[in-house]
Amino acid sequence: MEYIEIRFGDSFENQTKDERSFQDMFQSVNPMFCLSKRVWKPQMDIFETRKEIIIQAEIAGVKKDDIRIEVSHKAVKISGHRESIQPENPATYRLAEIQFGDFERVLYLPSVINTEKVSASFSNGFLEITMQKLYVDGEKRSVPIEFG
First to last CA, the chain: 52
The pairs formed by 115-120 with CB atoms below 8 angstroms and a separation of 24 or more are: 115/8, 115/71, 115/72, 115/73, 118/6, 118/71, 120/4, 120/6, 120/69
Domain 1-9+37-84+96-137 falls in which CATH fold? Immunoglobulin-like (2.60.40)
More confident residue, 29 or 80: 80
Residue 116 pLDDT exceeds 80: yes
d(CA 10, CA 71): 8
Average pLDDT on 102-111 reads: 94
Q: What is the pTM of this model?
A: 0.69
Task: Note the pLDDT of residue 135.
Answer: 73
Average pLDDT on 114-142 reads: 86
Average pLDDT on 37-59 reads: 92
Residues 82-97 have pLDDT tens digits of 998 888 888 888 888 8
Task: Note the pLDDT of residue 97.
Answer: 87
pLDDT band at 18, cuts 50/70/90? very low
Domain boundaries of the chain, sorted by first residue? 1-9+37-84+96-137
